[in-house]
Structure 1
């Protein structure tokens, strides 16, 4: 049994590694096939053909694509993502400066998602059919129906333009870090939470309604067990455990998919670095940031798969 479980985990690890390898191929191909020339963009419009050719040779851009991909992948596996064409700094150092801000944004949203999803889902599910449940159901349905950039725009119009409570952009003042100005995190975090929270609240609510009507809960109530103990002992575990794998996938999204919110609010994270590098044809930075996001997403989804298999016996038997 233990060997079979180990074999399943190894298969999952192999699938994750294969996915990441495929992502690296797509990233490299996309940056290679993109229109324009990195050497010409770096030198500017006044450079002559000879200067461009010399720079292409020094950067290795005149080598076959498969050779460049092999060199890039080999160095990336050893932690060397190359050197920025625009600044001349190591790409890993540039990413390290921005990754902390992106991680702070995603981790803040993730830390709020779990208690809010479980709390609101439990509150609505225990009041199924009442006004409170209808209010939560309507609000979550509205949030699910709108994309993040629309919700973010509406939040700016309400809290920044209309009420003036929060800044419309999430750019820290010169010489200050994000941690010293927490108010700039509020709108990006709310934008990230919008769809993720709505989906998980609806999932937990449905589980609570089913568990509340189960034979175990009814028997406990008939036996005189206090209502709060029925909820904590029978209803909440039965509702939350099936939702945990889905919740874990949303946590993976929040930690690896903050690019939309960062771009919308100008937050100084990896998204800003990616947008600037794309405009400047800074290929090493584009490749490094994209590969890092892909690696984080694949890793967190792997952990979500393992969690789902650990909590669901049927999933374990089918793996």
Structure 2
């Protein structure tokens, strides 16, 4: 019990430390970008004295470590701060972050489902035509970037065939007005990640299939499919879960491009605008929300793997 508690605390501390380092690096990167966000806010006609006064008013003339610590303190108190224009960050993000999470979540579910199904079929029938197709096809899927798929999908299914909308129109609450508007962005995000995860699922199942428990189940007369779903898959689950967890990062990164192509109301445009405006508070908040989401999923995968490993001892 004590060993398990220490292991869990160590995992949590490691993930929190990684998150803190990431936020510090992002804050420093935005702070040291050339140019002045205040100059862009006030316009070219503003004098140097006006720019300096505004920077002092906003606290931007202080060393960046102090600003970063203050931002962390405010964040711990539930205050996300304000943009350079004085608008609360909560209002700027609004439903956009939830929209991005929805898009990324749907893409993750699609990736997990397709990867487990086809990876299992590949492991179950290693010499079939499907297995040969998966071996070469998964490599092709990995190599094709999201923006190419998004552009092709929009051209074929929206412009040529007219089956699905090419752009996303938000409703009064800032969400996609129709569910059909989620189809093409979700598939464009999921396809490259599916190629990689099919290979991981296949490799994890093949590795788990060589354990003594599997050989014993086969000697008991159980079918190959029954052994796969009841013995091999649970053994391979930690590796599969970790692969899917690490997929969260590329998925959220891919949304920045896919959202632009499909005019999706997510955080992609917010992040791009905040960096262009040198708005460190807004950029850091967007990165913090995305990084926290990733870390939570990675933490869950770490805890699942630790639980399985402890259960085998």
- Common fold by TM > 0.5: yes
SS of equivalent residue, structure 1 residue 180: coil
Q: Choose the corresponding residue for 2:140, options 142, 145, 163.
A: 142
Q: Choose the corresponding residue for 1:292, options 289, 292, 309.
A: 289
Distance of aligned partners of 1:213 and 1:187 in 2 relative to their CA distance in 1, 3 Å threshold: same
On the 8 A contact 2:176/2:265 being kept in 1, the answer is: no
What corresponds to 1:9 in structure 2?
8
On the 8 A contact 2:274/2:283 being kept in 1, the answer is: yes
SS of equivalent residue, structure 2 residue 152: helix
Cα distance in structure 2, aligned partners of 1:30 and 1:241: 35
Superposed, 1:50-89 pairs within 5 Å as 50-86=49-85, 88-89=86-87
Cα distance in structure 1, aligned partners of 2:9 and 2:216: 43
Distance of aligned partners of 1:167 and 1:215 in 2 relative to their CA distance in 1, 3 Å threshold: same
Distance of aligned partners of 1:229 and 1:273 in 2 relative to their CA distance in 1, 3 Å threshold: same
What corresponds to 1:184 in structure 2?
181
On the 8 A contact 2:33/2:278 being kept in 1, the answer is: no
What corresponds to 1:305 in structure 2?
302
Cα distance in structure 1, aligned partners of 2:52 and 2:220: 85
RMSD: 2.9
What corresponds to 1:162 in structure 2?
160
Structure 2 unaligned segments of length 5 or more: list them. none
SS of equivalent residue, structure 2 residue 52: helix
On the 8 A contact 1:79/1:92 being kept in 2, the answer is: no
Does residue 244 in structure 1 map to residue 226 in structure 2? no
What corresponds to 2:267 in structure 1?
270
Q: TM-score, normalised by structure 1?
A: 0.85
On the 8 A contact 1:126/1:208 being kept in 2, the answer is: no
TM-superposition CA deviations, 1:256-297 (whole Å, max 9, x none): 863343234332111121112223333321121122222222
Q: Deviation at 1:191? A: 1.8
Distance of aligned partners of 1:182 and 1:221 in 2 relative to their CA distance in 1, 3 Å threshold: same
On the 8 A contact 2:238/2:305 being kept in 1, the answer is: no
On the 8 A contact 1:249/1:304 being kept in 2, the answer is: no
TM-superposition CA deviations, 1:83-122 (whole Å, max 9, x none): 1223x32113322421110111111112222222211122
On the 8 A contact 1:249/1:301 being kept in 2, the answer is: yes
Distance of aligned partners of 1:265 and 1:223 in 2 relative to their CA distance in 1, 3 Å threshold: same
On the 8 A contact 1:107/1:255 being kept in 2, the answer is: no
Distance of aligned partners of 1:312 and 1:250 in 2 relative to their CA distance in 1, 3 Å threshold: farther
Q: Deviation at 1:29? A: 0.8
Does residue 112 in structure 1 map to residue 110 in structure 2? yes
Q: Deviation at 1:313? A: 4.9
Q: TM-score, normalised by structure 2?
A: 0.86
Between the two proteins, the alignment pairs up a number of residues equal to 313
